[in-house]
C-alpha cells in the first residue's frame, strides 16, 4: 500500500519504521523539513527507507492512505493542505489529539475533496505499543477502513459512525491523564523542596495501593520534559472540548499551563543536555532537583 505520513515527529517516525518494515511504500512531509530542525527529520526518514516529499501535496498525491500525525493546533490546517491534492476515495486517518470540533472541521475539507475522512483517537502512549497502540475510529467511513488498518498491523476498533465521539473519548481521558501528570509534577516537586516526598508517596500508596507512584512519577516527569509543549497543545484542545460541553475547563487549562511551564524550563536550559539525558531513565527526583535548583538560581538573581 502507498501510505503518506503527514508529520514526522515521534508518532510519524514509529509508524514510518513499522510500515516500511512491513513492506509498504511510505512517503512523509513535515513542516519542519524546510528549517534547521528538519535536518534530523530528513535523516531519520531516509535512513528508514521513508521517502521525503517537499509539500503536503507531494506526499499525498499517490497515497491510498494518509495518516495525519501533526501537533493538535495544526489538525485542521494539515487536512486543508492535503485536501488540495488528495486522490478521490483515499482514506484520511486523523491521528491528532484534537477536539471534536477540530476533527469535524478537518473532515469537511477532506470530504469536499472527495476523500474519506476517519478520526482516530490514540488511547494510550504510543512508544510501548507502537502500531499496536489501542486506537478508536470514528466517522461514516470508519467501518470501511477498519479491516485495512488491522491488516496493516494496527489495533483499531470503531467507536462510532458519528464524528466527534472517538475524539471526545480521547479528550476526556486526556483531562485525567495529563491533569495527573501536571498534579504529580507540582505536588512532588513541592514535596521534594520541603523534604516530605517519602511521606507523600507513602500516603498515595496507602490510598491507591495498585499504583507504584514513584515509578509513575518518573514516567510522567520524563514524558512532560520531552513533550511538554505538545501536551500543552493537547490540553488546550481538551479545554475546548470541555467548554463545548458547557463546563468551564479549569483543570484542563491549568494542566496546559503546567505543561507549558515545564517546556519553558527545557527551553531555558534548566535540564541541560546532560541533565535531560539523566532524566530519560533516572528517578523523578533528579528532574525535581533540577527544577528546584533552577528556581533557586532564578530567585538569587532576582534578589541581587
The model's pTM is 0.89
Domain that holds residue 278: 167-303
CA distance 215 to 187: 15
If asked whether residues 153 and 254 sit together in one domain, one would say: no
Question: What angle is formed at CA 177 by the lines to CA 176 and CA 182, rounded to 5 degrees?
Answer: 95
In the chain, % helix, strand, coil (3-state, to 5) comes to 65, 10, 25
Reported as type and span, the H/E element at residue 246 is none
- For residue 161, report the phi and psi dihedrals to the nearest 5 degrees: -80, -5
Residue 110 shares a structural domain with residue 173: no
Co-location of 147 and 180 in the same domain? no
Q: What is the mean pLDDT of residues 245-255?
A: 98
Residue after which a domain boundary falls, among 139, 162, 185: 162
Same domain membership, residue 226 and residue 287: yes
pLDDT tier for residue 22 given thresholds of 50, 70 and 90: very high
Q: Which of 162, 196, 226 is the last residue of a domain?
A: 162
Indicate the pLDDT class of residue 281, thresholds 50, 70 and 90.
low
Could you tell me if 152 and 279 lie in one domain?
no
**Cell 518494515, located at residue:** 21
Q: Per residue in 192-243, pLDDT tens?
A: 999 999 999 999 999 999 999 999 999 999 999 999 999 999 999 999 999 9
Amino acid at each position: 500500500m502507498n501510505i503518506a505520513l503527514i508529520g514526522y515527529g515521534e508518532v510519524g517516525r514509529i509508524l514510518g519504521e513499522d510500515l516500511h518494515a512491513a513492506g509498504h511504500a511510505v512517503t512523509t512531509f513535515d513542516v519542519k523539513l524546510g528549517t534547521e530542525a528538519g535536518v534530523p527529520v530528513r535523516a531519520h526518514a531516509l535512513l528508514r527507507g521513508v521517502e521525503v516529499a517537499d509539500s503536503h501535496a507531494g506526499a499525498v498525491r499517490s497515497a491510498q492512505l494518509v495518516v495525519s500525525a501533526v501537533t493538535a493546533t495544526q489538525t485542521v490546517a494539515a487536512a486543508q493542505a492535503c485536501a488540495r491534492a488528495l486522490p478521490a476515495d483515499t482514506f484520511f486517518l486523523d491521528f491528532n489529539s484534537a477536539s471534536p470540533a477540530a476533527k469535524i472541521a478537518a473532515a469537511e475539507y477532506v470530504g469536499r475533496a472527495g476523500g474519506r475522512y476517519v478520526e482516530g483517537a490514540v488511547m494510550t502512549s504510543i512508544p510501548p505499543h507502537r502500531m499496536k497502540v489501542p486506537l478508536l475510529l470514528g466517522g461514516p467511513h470508519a467501518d470501511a477502513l477498519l479491516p485495512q488498518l488491522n491488516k496493516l498491523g494496527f489495533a483499531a476498533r470503531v467507536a462510532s459512525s458519528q464524528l466527534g465521539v472517538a475524539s471526545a473519548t480521547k479528550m476526556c481521558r486526556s483531562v485525567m491523564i495529563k491533569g495527573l501528570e501536571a498534579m504529580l509534577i507540582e505536588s512532588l516537586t513541592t514535596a521534594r523542596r520541603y523534604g516530605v516526598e517519602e511521606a507523600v508517596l507513602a500516603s498515595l500508596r496507602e490510598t491507591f495501593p495498585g499504583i507504584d507512584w514513584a515509578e509513575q512519577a518518573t514516567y510522567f516527569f520524563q514524558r512532560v520534559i520531552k513533550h511538554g509543549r505538545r501536551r500543552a497543545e493537547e490540553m488546550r484542545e481538551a479545554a475546548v472540548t470541555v467548554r463545548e460541553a458547557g463546563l468551564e475547563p479549569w483543570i484542563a487549562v491549568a494542566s496546559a499551563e503546567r505543561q507549558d511551564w515545564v517546556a519553558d524550563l527545557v527551553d531555558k536550559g534548566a535540564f541541560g543536555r546532560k541533565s535531560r539525558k539523566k532524566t530519560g531513565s533516572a528517578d523523578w527526583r533528579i528532574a525535581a532537583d533540577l527544577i528546584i535548583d533552577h528556581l533557586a538560581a532564578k530567585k538569587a538573581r532576582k534578589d541581587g
